[in-house]
Structure 1
């Protein structure tokens, strides 16, 4: 027995302290790896936020540094657009009214247009450096325009109105003017029959400087009519939170009875600054959030500058 131990067998004893030391090393390694992982995640989040902020800042700086559209270029665009061969184009007088309003903006204009029309590219070009958004009732045409012209920002909307229902719809607004159909509100949360509440959420937060109602198309009894577009424009203009307190609202085909009646109800004759050819031009002021009526008087005579 003694010989066996001496010649070939070795007895190894592990002290408990050695086992504890190995376990402790593993814990330290795990803690170190966890720290590195956390540091990596924090760095990644900070870097993404920094890149996003920097990108937004650079974009704003580029827009600010970009020179405004010269008056000569604007006049040329208006001239060639109004002298094209299209049968459904606006007149030179109508286009010039809108171009003049866009040029009055002291900052990049926010321009909302109901209707994708012959002038779509013109509006985008005239609102140089600004944001121009188009709303159309035809989702396929809106998608086609965005695909063909990537610089165009267009959305589709489903109108739930009929031209033949105009008297009832206006009467419903009058009944709910202190509730769902208030002149100052966020239409995203409204159940007013004439309020468009299915636009992209972000559009309700924009302070619109110029709004053009040139859609939807059609003037037959089952057509949606422009009542909802005019009402929505009236609320958006009165609900501005910042920027210029005034909003220019243009209604094309103002010679049509339905557009004139609806405009009288919600844009109001006291705000009509010009009516010429087929265009009605209104300038609306921001209203107090407690306002309970659209017009100061339902019998206000037309502006002296109207024709």
Structure 2
């Protein structure tokens, strides 16, 4: 009820369009009837965070945000949200170089890639909260960090790490990954490299929706040197 009141009395609208939101909403609804709900990881903390959390009432929804002051601002008004400050190690200006060179590091390749503690791979997000590494995520929304100026972190690491976590899944089912702002070069390039066109099941507006199977549950993702 508090979420309804919040949006009913606010002039601020979510960052995504209604059509884009509906894609993720439909997937969240599919597991809302289970006893545990969904494990939902969201890169980004915004005006839509209360909405995402309310769509997953029985599950665990965790938000990752690059701006510590913004985390404090949001949690002041919505203290029940699970939000963490994350410091990213990359800059958008490095995107082309990271794409050119990642195959030269074995621990960036599918056969050996992992996220937690993987300091050998520059694309692996090694500074995330422990909870992120401990859980297996049913849904991952990538709508951050910022990626529209050279010094911004860019979403290269988020896309790569989401792909690696999805491939490492041991729970039944696939990992649903939603990537926003695919009208931009870097998001599109890294999605095609790590999330794969063959796993793209829906494109609405600036949102792409992927279903990524785990390496344990299918031979389709068992390439040692290619994600796609």
Q: Distance in 2 between matches of 1:264 and 1:158?
A: 25
State the match for 1:139 in structure 2: 68
* TM-score, normalisation: structure 1: 0.65
- Map of 1:121-200 to 2, 5 A cutoff? 121-176=50-105, 179-183=106-110, 185-191=113-119, 192-200=121-129
Cα contact 1:267–1:294 (8 A) shared by 2: no
Q: Which has more helix, going by share of residues?
A: 1
State the match for 1:268 in structure 2: 196
State the match for 1:211 in structure 2: 140
1:193 Cα offset (Å): 0.4
Cα contact 2:44–2:145 (8 A) shared by 1: yes
Structure 1: stretches of 5+ with no match in the other structure: 1-72, 297-307
State which of 206, 214, 224 in structure 2 corresponds to 1:286.
Answer: 214
State which of 96, 99, 104 in structure 1 corresponds to 2:22.
Answer: 96
Question: Residues 259 and 99 of structure 1: is their aligned pair in 2 closer, same or farther, counting only changes over 3 Å?
Answer: same
Q: Distance in 1 between matches of 2:76 and 2:47?
A: 17
Cα contact 1:186–1:204 (8 A) shared by 2: no
State the match for 1:247 in structure 2: 175
Deviations 1:174-195 (A, max 9, x none): 222xx22133654112021011
- Map of 1:26-65 to 2, 5 A cutoff? none
Question: Residues 148 and 86 of structure 1: is their aligned pair in 2 closer, same or farther, counting only changes over 3 Å?
Answer: closer
**CA RMSD of the aligned region, Å?**
2.3
Runs ≥4 residues deviating over 3 A: 84-88, 182-186, 288-291, 293-296
State the match for 1:295 in structure 2: 227
Matched pairs, number: 215
Deviations 1:250-291 (A, max 9, x none): 001111111011100110111111112010101100114975
Question: Residues 182 and 245 of structure 1: is their aligned pair in 2 closer, same or farther, counting only changes over 3 Å?
Answer: farther
1:116 Cα offset (Å): 0.6
Q: Distance in 2 between matches of 1:157 and 1:188?
A: 14
Q: Distance in 2 between matches of 1:87 and 1:102?
A: 20
Structure 2: stretches of 5+ with no match in the other structure: none
SS of aligned partner of 2:116: helix
